[in-house]
Amino acid sequence: MNNGIRQFHRWVSIVFTLTVIANFVVMGFGHQIMWVTYAPLPPLFLLLFTGLYMFALPYFTKSRAAQ
């Protein structure tokens, strides 16, 4: 389960990076395409939640071990 979350975060980070690169490419051509501009936001949200989950994980396992 946790490994699945980590893999998911990993692959979504690639998608996020590609959407950011797409933004620079579109800007480089002097255009602004609305859906490209906002394309990084959905993967960024997924990264935020899975990232915060991974951040909190060690604290959960520690408190469980202390009991």
Residues forming the site for ligand HEM (CB under 6 A): 6, 9-10, 13, 16-17, 44, 47-48, 51-52, 54-55
27/56 with CB nearer ligand HEM = 56
In the complex, the smallest distance separating the C-beta of residue 63 from ligand HEM, rounded to whole angstroms, is: 17
Instruction: Give the tokens for residue 53.
Output: 């989950």
Q: Which of 63, 50, 67 is nearest to 1 (CA)?
A: 50
Q: Quote the DSSP letter at residue 1.
A: -
Which 3 state secondary structure label does DSSP give 33?
coil
23/31 with CB nearer ligand HEM = 23
Instruction: Give the tokens for residue 45.
Output: 């949200």
55/59 with CB nearer ligand HEM = 55
Element (H, E) at 34: helix 34-38
In the complex, the smallest distance separating the C-beta of residue 30 from ligand HEM, rounded to whole angstroms, is: 26
